[in-house]
Amino acid sequence: MINTLNRRKLSTDIGSFEILYKDLLGRIGKLKTKSGYIETPCLLPVVNITKQPISMDELYNELNCKAIMTNAYLLKKKFESSIIEKGIHEFLGFEGVVFTDSGAYQILTYGEIDVDPLEIVFFEEDIGSDIAVILDFPTGIGGSRKKAELTINETLKRGDDALKKIRRKDILWVGPIQGGTYIDLVKLCSQEMSERNFSIYALGSPTKVMESYKFETLFNMIFTAKSNLPMNRPFHLFGAGHPFMFSLAVASGCDMFDSAAYVIYARNGRYLTDYGTSKIEDMKYFPCSCPICVKNTPKDLLELNFEKKIELLSKHNLYICFEEIKRIKEAILEGRLWELIEIRTKSHPSLLQAMSCFKKYKNFLEESTPSSKKHGIFFFGKQSTYRPEVVRYRKRIIEDYKSPRNFKRMLLLPAPTNKPLIRNKFIKYLIRNFGSFKDLQICTYLSPFGIVPLEISDMFPLSQTEMCKESNEEGGEDIISTITNYLKKNDYKKIIIHSDNKFWDKNKLKKIRKICDRKKIDLCVSYHGDKVWNRESLENIIKILEIPFNGASS
């Protein structure tokens, strides 16, 4: 089943957001503005017209950049009359979508700015922005809780004032979420802001969090805001800098983000890759095939004058950023966004640590992930145990699954390597003799899913999961938890465990015995070490089941 949500003709209403495909909380969507559509996920390069190394024509035509961000406050201070006369698009010479920030970053940096919040709103209307941010009051990080509460109240007040005074209905207005690293305040602000009719919502004050590599805090902020905002509106992340975290930002619910990092890194002689950053003076080869890297070596760039070096390095950095966005879109389309974020978390320990947030919000992710996909899933180890497909199965086998028969006995087998599971010769033999034991249910224990009744073993993703042998031994506690919950729900008289000694240690068996004793279930364990599927073990388990052996072998 293709991960397609919407094949209808796109709405022509300004502000409409049509979701076409999704995976995790990532969405490929179309947002209508007065200057055309934005396809999400979308990166908007931040443009500073006074020191912009890449021309608007090159951005639009060479790099295929159709949306940018610029700072309305800085433009007002330097070019107010001429930009009002020409309009933002003509002034910049950019025919795509223009998103204007309001100057909140300058408040965060300098403490205050010499402009009234409504004055910025009216200026953004006068210059014809496509997407515009109200002048919020940023929380930042490191301040007191009292200050954080003040920034929320002031931001909400400014939002109310702006919505009352806004004249143009063809501009998409952004409602920023404040609260900083006080997660409960982020939740409160999100709930309050969700009651205000903004076209787009955005997470404010994340820049310093990202700069200090506090990605666990960042994604906790994102998940908290996202889970308390309307799901039918785009969500923007201010100041997302490095492409190695784009996929995690999208997976946690960010539809749009802006970045000036491509220029900032270039000015410091830093070369972006999708997995890290290098200084060009330390490099001999460019691991990239963009137009800049194909024609130049690190030595070539070092020999250029400063401005030309910045221009070429900025272009490369943007190529890498846009390439990662396309990679993310393809991952969403293919239903492989989880695999991509697992790869990216290996880029830096702080990103790997941030996966704890994905575990914390695993149920929220599961609710937003399609129930079937074009491809099977890859299981790599511990992180994969809380991916949405696994979480969904564990939940449904306990809450929703009803056995088609009134089974009184269960044979619990280790999962064979064959897929689907019924290809195993031992299991085929038991199926052929099913008439001899109508009261017997055959189940397997399979990492990371837990208990798998044979009758549903060919369903997605059970027989569509690829894993290495070592990965199959991960998630032992989760498997036992699923088995015990399944036993609590169903009534059996006898459980026969065909034991793989590598999995069934004393602690795991103790937990099974405890639930069997409580429910007065007869527990029988057949030990065979590594020879679970040989003729001797087959004969032994058939003897336990009291089925005549007819010479079948695995």
Judge residue 536's burial from the number of C-beta atoms within 10 Å of its C-beta, 0-12 exposed, 13-18 middle, 19 or more buried: exposed
What's the one-letter identity of residue 539?
E
> Which run of H or of E encompasses 160?
helix 145-165
DSSP 248-283: HHHHTT--EEEE-HHHHHHHTTEEE-SS-EEEGGG-
Judging by DSSP bridges, how do beta strands 131-133 and 97-101 pair with one another? parallel
> Which run of H or of E encompasses 429?
helix 425-432
3-state secondary structure of 195: coil
Judge residue 73's burial from the number of C-beta atoms within 10 Å of its C-beta, 0-12 exposed, 13-18 middle, 19 or more buried: buried
> Can you tell me the distance from the alpha carbon of 432 to that of 427, in angstroms, rounded to the nearest whole number?
9
> Can you tell me the distance from the alpha carbon of 113 to that of 123, in angstroms, rounded to the nearest whole number?
15
3-state secondary structure of 531: coil
Alpha helices in 377-498 (DSSP H): 388-399, 425-432, 476-489
Find the angle CA(54)-CA(58)-CA(61) to the nearest 5 degrees: 155
The two structure tokens encoding residue 19: 């979701």
Judge residue 256's burial from the number of C-beta atoms within 10 Å of its C-beta, 0-12 exposed, 13-18 middle, 19 or more buried: buried
Alpha helices in 433-528 (DSSP H): 476-489, 506-519
Return the active site residues.
101
Handedness of CA 217, 218, 220, 225 (dihedral sign): positive
